Structure 1
Amino acid sequence: MAPLLLLGVRHHSPACARYVEATIRAHRPAFVLIEGPADFNPHIEDLRLDHAPPIAIFSYCADDKTSRASYSPFCAYSPEWRALRAAFEIGATPLFCDLPAWHADFGDRANRYADPHPLLARRHAADAALQLSLRAEGPDAAWDALIEQADDARLPQLLQTYFKLLRPDGAEDAHEAEREKFMAAHVAWALKEAEGRPVALVCGGWHVGGVRGSLGEADGARPACPPAPDGARAESYLTPYSFARLDAFSGYAAGMPSPGYWSVVHESGLAAAADWAMTRIGAALRDKGLPVSTADRIAWRAQASALANLRGHRMILRADLLDAALSTLVKDELAGPAAWTRAGAVTEAADDIVVAMLRALCDDKEGRLASGVRLPPLVPDLERRLARYGLKPERETKHIVIDWRDKTLQSKAHALHQMLLLELPGIVRVAGPSHADARDLTETFEIAKHPDWMASVIEASRWGGDLPMAATARLRARLDDSPGDVDALAAALSDGLLAGLYDAEDSTAELEKHVAVCREIGPLGRAARRVTRLYRFGDVFDAKGALAPLARAMFERILFLLEGPIGNGGASIDAVIAARDLARDCDGLALSLSAARGVFERIVADVETPPALGGAALGWLVALRFGDAGDNAVARIKACARPQSLGDFLGGLFALAREEIGAAAPALVAVDGLVEGWTQEEFLAALPAMRGAFAWFPPREREALARAILQRSGRKAADAEAIALDWMSQRKSVASQAQAMEAEARAMERLSRWGFD
């Protein structure tokens, strides 16, 4: 029988890449089997082309309801990539021998090479023992000390010992059993076909024992690749990848952190990588305002060398550099242990300096596919559409203006919105109808070339083979993620109509069913605002007739829910805004405004009404110009004089009737008079809600209000204008100013207590 070379590796390890490549070249096997998606084997010649890693095999399986995607990434120093290149060069047959990435045995892993999850207690105990014996903090530092700095002659034995320590022979892994049996079946078949020549298997070291144990069950027949489930389509394509996506600190659950650093190790060795890392980290720290002088760098290098010697390292390793940078360059105390001393993604709680250092070692390298590579049909379909509409992204940003009243531009607008649905980078909608005022039928888009464009289009191909098909499937998947959510349904209706994908009558009927049983005022209000916008747009879509029953149903449901128990008054503001816009700005709905007036008058009169809802209800009456609602505003403002409630009440009022109330001098005088009577503590307590209330005013109107307040306090017009302009241009946040005022008040109180008035 031909000899079997079981090459267990750690994914994306330069040392393992050297080991694999050297072994294949030395033994010249007939077959090189690689842990990777077997369904890609018919296209494995695509990998022979002159790609510039990092790249990945992108695999997906999709049906009418769901889509699942996974990646098998390669960089220049991935053992799997080196195995492929070596196999091609020596004339061996390379084959992927693992189950397809969409197979159920992969669970919800987004990356094929994600680290295995079972037997964690043993694995963690082994890692802890290694860290202790190697004087290393964290599993990555222990790996570097044991493997990455090792002599090539010692690597095979060290790797075998390491992986047996993590998973000894006979330790079963039920989660990976089917995968390991599938790989073992490939091995048995290849050994039979090799006719005495060696066969190499390159796989994660975790799987070596499982594959070896499963070999006895294999019958020597070539295993058939499992077909996609009934009604589903499954495909795999190459796609560009990036170091940022490969970095363990960004959340990638396999392989090595700091891919930029390891790329230099692979190309030039550990000594060159240390110099590169110091230059990159120094530049990153200077960008953070931390000076790194020549003297600092000398001290840093000396400290890194001392740490390496103390830890028994032959060379300065990554952890030595990072630890030395902290001790010589960073003067402030960290919030917690440095992120590189543990595995996993860097969280938001990490120190900015630490994050900057780790990003520097990641690098920003992007992969590139060779010309002539097989591409999914969505790529040429999209290229044709971009050329037809003059939308092809260029280096210079294009500004595209769409007037929906121009029928000749609507298909172009549909294509733009379909690309937005697929979240393709470089396509941005920068202006257009908002929920608050959708009477302007003009939209503006920006289109620019983006480095992730090709990768994103390839990855979007899982949704369909052409742009409308892919956008429709993506929209359907969004709805499947939020069943029965009226806001999600309304958003899908809006996006589908703008993208030219939906029939208005069928879609509105589905949404109307859910509106009738909706019990949450917040989602209903957001949904109603979307539908109000669409109704104003209705002539463009020829959809007013279909939208009218839905709009009426939403208006009536809002009134019904508003008279029930409302917990957080702020959550109801969108619903009241929608009720205002439907009543005031949407002709042809035949709404019962007298019934609505009664609802809002009862809400205003009820002393138990939450302040935000009370203000919004009053604003609805003011905006619809019912009776003396405007005159009653001052009385209602004074009735909500408490610091704890005034800001919320004004927020509701301004949200509904900013233009009518904001310009009214009596209302402004009433608010100013109440604020003047507050103590410092009351003012600080009320400030966040008051700030939120006046945020409803655009900057120009806020400046006018500031001038009016200043003039009322006795300032001359010129002084008031200058101070108001200064207020509007200040950079410090209101929250930080409030904190400063509170600290100043505490200081003054202490000084007064000790007699320093």
Structure 2
Amino acid sequence: MAPLLLLGVRHHSPACARHVEATIRAHRPAYVLIEGPADFNPHIEDLRLDHTPPIAIFSYCADETTSRSSYSPFCAYSPEWRALRTAFEIGATPLFCDLPAWHPDFGERANRYADPHPLLARRHAADAALQVNLRAEGSDAAWDALIEQAEEARLPKLLETYFELLRPDGAEDAREAGREKFMAAHVAWALKEAAGRPVALVCGGWHVGGVRRFLGEADGARPICPQPPEGARAESYLTPYSFARLDAFSGYAAGMPSPGYWNVAYQSGLEAAADWAMTRIGAALRDKGLPVSTADRIAWRAHACALANLRGHRAILRADLLDAALSALVKDGLSGPAAWTRSGAVTGAADDIVVEMLFALCDDKEGRLASGVRLPPLIQDLERRLAQYQLTPDRVKKLVAIDWRDKTRRGKAHTLHQMRLLELPGVLRIAGPPHADARDLTETFEIAKHSDWMAAVIEASRWGGDLPMAATARLRARLDDAPGNVDTLAAALSDGLFAGLYEAASSTVELEKHAAACREIGPLGRAARRVTRLYRFGDVFGATRALAPLAQTMFERILFLLEGPVGDGRPSIDAVIAARDFARGCDGLALSLSAAREVFERIVANAETPPALAGAALGWLVAMGFGDAGDGAAARIKSCARPENLGDFLGGLFALAREEIGTAAPALVAVDGLVAGWTQQEFLAALPAMRGAFAWFPPREREALARVILQLSGREAADAEAIALDWMRQRKSVESQAQAMDAEARALERLARWGFN
């Protein structure tokens, strides 16, 4: 039987990449089997092209309701990439021998090479022992000291011993058994076919023992690649990738940290990588305002050399130069252990200087696909549509104005909104209302060439073969993720109409059903506000008639829920705004305004009503002309005089009747009088809610309010205008001023306590 070269590796390890390449060149196997998606084998010639790594195999499996995707990434120093390239060079047959990415044995993993489960207790223990013996802090530092700096002659035995330590021969991993059986079956078939020539298998070192164990059970028949479930479509394409996505510190579960550093180490050696890293880190810290002088760098390098010698390293390793940087460059203590001493993504808790150093070692390299590579049909469809509407991205940003009243431009508008649904980079809506509104029927988009464009479109192809199909499937997936959620349904209705994907008559039925049964006032209010805007904009979509029953149902449900439990009342404000807009701005609806008036009058009169809802209910009555914005509103404001209540009450009132109340002197006099009577502590406690209330006024109206209040307090008109203008142009934030006032009050209190006045 042909000899088997069983090459266990760590994914994206430069040392393993060199070992794999040297072994394949030395033994010239007939087959090079690689851990990777076997369903890509019909297209493996795509990988022979002159791509610029990092790239990845993007695989997906989708049906009418779900879509799953996964990546198999490669960089220049990935052992799998070197195995592929070397196999092509020597005339061997490279084949992927792992299950397809969509197979249930992968669970929910989005990355083929990610660890399938938390590290086992034995692996924890082995890692800990290695760190102690190698004087390393963290499993990555231990790996570097043991493997990445090892002499070539010692590397095969070191790798074998390392992986045997983590998972001894015979140790079963039930979660990976299906994959390992499939790989073993490929090995048995290749050995049979090789006619005495060697066969190489390149796979994660964790799988070596399992493959070896299952090899004895394989019958030598070529394994049949599993097919996707009935009704599903599965496909794989090459896509550009980036070092940022490959970095273990960005959350990539199987990555080596600092891919930029290791790329230089693979190409030029560890000494060159250390020099490159120091230059990159120094430049990054200078960009952030931290000086790194020539003397600092000399001290840094001397310290790194000393650490490397102390730890018995043949060269300065990544951990040596990072640890030395803490001593030579960082003047303040860290909030915790340095992020490079542990595995996984860098979190927000990491110190800023540590984050900057790690990002510098990542590098910003992005891959590029060679011309002639097989691409998904979505690429061609999108290119055709962009050319048709003169939307093809270029290096220079272009602004695209859309006026929905112009029917000839709606095809372009639909295309732009479909791209937004797919979240394609380089397409940004920079102006226009947050939702449809008949008072503003224009939008402005910014289109620009983006480095991630090709990768994003390839990855979006899992949703469909053309732009409308893909956007519709993406929209459907959003609904499937939140079944029955009226807020999500309303957002999808709005997006679908703007993207030209929905017929209004058919798409409102489900939303109306769920709105009629909705029990939460917050989501219903947000959904209803979207529908009011769509209704006003309905003529553009021919949707007004279809939206009318939905609007009426929502109006009635809002009135019903408002008289039930509403928590602190704040989530109900959106619902009251929607009820006002349905009644005041949506012509043609059959609404019972008399019944609504009675509901809101009861809410206002009920002493148990939360202040925010009481204010909103009063605002509805004032806005609809059923309430008094002057003395009547002032009396209600005085009934909520407590500092903990007034801000919430005014927030509801201003949200509904800002324009009416803002010009009513009695209401403003009432507020001014209440605030003037508060103590310093009461004012500071009430300040956040009061700020939130007045935030309903845009800056120009807040300035007008300030003038009115100053005049009411006796200031002359010109004086009031100057002071109001000064208030609105303050450089210091209100929060800073409040903190200063609080500190001053506490200082004066302490002085008074000791008899100083």
Same fold (TM over 0.5): yes
Shift of 1:330: 1.4
Shift in Å at residue 46 of structure 1?
0.5
**What pairs with 1:451-466 in structure 2 (closer than 5 Å)?**
451-466=451-466
1:122 equivalent in alignment to 2:122: yes
* SS class of match (1:401): strand
Is the CA contact (8 Å cut-off) linking 1:504 and 1:546 kept in structure 2?
Answer: yes
Structure 2: how far apart are the matches of 1:380 and 1:182? 36
**Equivalent pair of 2:33/2:187 in contact (CA under 8 Å):** yes
Residue 227 of structure 1 aligns with which residue?
A: 227
C-alpha contact (below 8 Å) 1:435/1:529 kept by paired residues:
no
* Alignment-derived partner of residue 278 in structure 2: 278
CA distance in 2, matches of 1:309, 1:261: 21
- Give the CA deviation at 1:731: 5.2
Partner of residue 134, structure 1 = 134
Give 1:743 deviation, angstroms: 2.7
Identity %: 86
Cα pair 2:629 2:667 within 8 Å, conserved: no
Deviates more, 1:668-677 or 1:613-622: 668-677
TM-score by length of 2: 0.98
Q: How does 1:162-311 map to 2 (within 5 A)?
A: 162-311=162-311
Q: Is residue 2:434 matched to residue 1:434?
A: yes
Partner SS state of residue 372, structure 2: coil
In structure 2, the residue matched to 1:80 is 80
* Distance verdict in 2 for CA 1:31–1:727, change over 3 Å: farther
Whether the 8 Å contact between 2:620 and 2:656 is mirrored in structure 1 is yes
Say what the alpha-carbon RMSD is for the aligned residues: 1.5
Distance verdict in 2 for CA 1:47–1:526, change over 3 Å: same
Q: Does 1:540 align with 2:559?
A: no
User: 1:92 aligned to 2:118?
Assistant: no
Q: Helix, strand or coil for the counterpart of 2:102?
A: coil
Tell me if the contact between 1:434 and 1:533 (Cα under 8 Å) persists in the aligned partners: no
Distance 1:118-1:296 versus aligned 2 partners, 3 A rule = closer
Aligned-partner SS, 2:186: helix
**Equivalent AA in structure 1 for residue 612 of structure 2:** A
- Could you say which residue in structure 2 is the equivalent of 1:5? 5
Return closer, same or farther for 1:436/1:501 CA change in 2, 3 Å cut-off: closer
Give the 3 Å change call, closer, same or farther, for CA 329–718 of structure 1 in structure 2: farther
Structure 2: how far apart are the matches of 1:18 and 1:568?
A: 64
For the residues of structure 1 that align with 2:743 and 2:170, how far apart are their CA atoms? Answer: 65
Q: Please give the alpha-carbon distance, in whole angstroms, between the structure 2 residues aligned to 1:46 and 1:176.
A: 28
The alpha-carbon distance between structure 1 residues 748 and 330, as it changes in their structure 2 partners (threshold 3 A), is farther
Secondary structure, aligned partner of 2:480: helix
Query: Aligned partners of 2:443, 2:200: CA distance in 1, in Å?
Result: 58
**21-30 vs 329-338, which deviates more?**
329-338
Q: Deviations over 1:215-274 (max 9, x none)?
A: 011111110110011000000000011111111111110120111111111111111111
Counterpart in 2 of 1:518? Answer: 518
Q: Which residue of 2 aligns with 1:468?
A: 468
- Structure 1 residue 355, shift from structure 2 partner: 1.2
Q: 1:292 to 1:749 in 2, by over 3 A?
A: farther
CA contact (8 A) 1:53 1:75 kept: yes
1:339 maps to a residue whose letter is: A
Q: Which amino acid aligns with 1:488?
A: T
The CA distance in 2 between the partners of 1:453 and 1:405, in whole Å, is 30
- Residue 508 of structure 2 aligns to a residue whose secondary structure is helix
Partner of 1:345: 345
Aligned AA for 2:88?
Answer: F
SS of the residue corresponding to residue 217 of structure 1 reads coil
Distance (Å, rounded) in 1 between the aligned partners of 2:24 and 2:723: 76
Aligned partner letter, 2:128: A
The residue correspondences of 1:473-622 to structure 2 (distance < 5 A) are 473-622=473-622
Contact 1:618–1:629 (CA under 8 A) maintained in structure 2: no
- CA shift at 1:98, angstroms? 0.3
2:410 and 2:250 map into 1 onto residues whose CA distance is 40
The 1-side partners of 2:139 and 2:714 are apart by: 68
What is the distance in 1 between the residues matched to 2:515 and 2:109?
36
State the Cα distance separating 1:118 from its structure 2 match. 5.8
Is 1:105 aligned to residue 94 of structure 2?
A: no
Write the distance in 1 (CA, Å) between the matches of 2:410 and 2:421.
16
The aligned counterpart of 1:390 is: 390
Asked whether the 8 Å contact 1:304–1:316 carries over to 2, the reply is: yes
Q: State which drifts further: 413-422 or 631-640.
A: 631-640
The amino acid of 1:305's aligned partner reads C
Alpha-carbon distance in 2 for matches of 1:304, 1:754: 56
For residues 573-601 of structure 1, the C-alpha deviation after alignment (integer angstroms, 9 at most, x for no partner) is: 11001001000000000210110011111
Q: Secondary structure at the match of 1:516?
A: helix
Secondary structure of 1:95's counterpart equals strand
Which moves more between the two structures, 730-739 or 639-648? 730-739
- Report the alpha carbon displacement of residue 658 of structure 1 after superposing the two structures with TM: 1.0
- Kindly tell me: are residues 657 and 63 of structure 1, through their superposed partners in 2, closer, same or farther at Cα, counting changes over 3 Å? same
Residues 32-84 of structure 1, C-alpha deviations (whole Å, 9 max, x = no match): 11000000001001111111111000000000000000000001111111111
Give the partner amino acid of 1:151: E
CA apart distance, 1:718: 5.7
Q: Please state how far the C-alpha of 1:720 moved relative to its aligned partner.
A: 4.9
User: 1:106-131 CA deviation, whole Å, 9 max, x = no partner?
Assistant: 00000000023166111111111111
Deviations 1:317-354 (A, max 9, x none): 11111111112211222221111111011111111111
* Contact in 1 for aligned 2:630/2:665 (Cα 8 Å): no
Separation in 1, partners of 2:609, 2:287: 52
Q: Once the 2 structures are TM-superposed, how far is the Cα of residue 400 of structure 1 from its aligned partner?
A: 1.1
Corresponding residue number in structure 1 for 2:318: 318
Q: Distance in 1 between matches of 2:582 and 2:551?
A: 7
Q: 2:740 and 2:207 mapped to 1: Cα distance?
A: 59
Segment of structure 1 superposing worse, 744-753 or 648-657: 744-753
Q: Give me the whole-angstrom Cα distance separating, in 1, the residues matched to 2:722 and 2:275.
A: 54
Unaligned runs of 5+ in 1: none
Residue 356 (1) aligns with residue 356 (2): yes
Counterpart in 2 of 1:423? 423
* CA distance in structure 2 between the partners assigned to 1:126 and 1:309 by the alignment: 24
Q: Which segment is superposed worse, 732-741 or 495-504?
A: 732-741
Equivalent pair of 2:435/2:494 in contact (CA under 8 Å) = no
The residue type paired with residue 734 of structure 1 is V
The one-letter code matched in structure 1 to 2:568 is N
Task: Tell whether the 8 Å contact from 2:515 to 2:553 is kept in structure 1 after alignment.
Answer: yes
Within 1, Cα distance between the matches of 2:361 and 2:715?
Answer: 56
Contact persistence 2:65–2:477 (CA under 8 A) = yes
Q: In structure 2, do the counterparts of structure 1 residues 168 and 118 end up closer, same or farther at CA, with 3 Å as the change threshold?
A: farther
CA deviation after TM superposition for structure 1 residue 631, in Å: 3.4
Q: Distance in 2 between matches of 1:630 and 1:590?
A: 30
Equivalence for 2:698: 698
Letter in 1 for 2:52: A
- CA separation in 2, counterparts of 1:712 and 1:322? 64
Would the alpha carbon gap of residues 317 and 478 (structure 1) be closer, same or farther in structure 2, given more than 3 Å must change?
A: same
C-alpha distance in structure 2 between counterparts of 1:412 and 1:630, whole Å: 49
> Residue 328 of structure 1 aligns with which residue?
328
Aligned residues: 757
Moved more, 548-557 or 700-709: 700-709
Amino acid paired to 2:5? L
Superposed CA offset, 1:462-520 (max 9, x none): 00000000011001111000001011111111111111111211111111111111000
How far apart are 1:756 and its partner, in Å?
3.9
Counterpart secondary structure, 1:239: strand
8 Å Cα contact 2:303-2:324 kept in structure 1: yes
The answer on whether the counterparts of 2:619 and 2:652 sit within 8 Å (CA) in structure 1 is: yes
Contact 1:10–1:255 (CA under 8 A) maintained in structure 2 = no
Looking at structure 1, the residues matched to 717 and 269 of structure 2 have their Cα atoms a distance apart, in angstroms, of 71
Quick one: which amino acid aligns to residue 6 of structure 2?
L
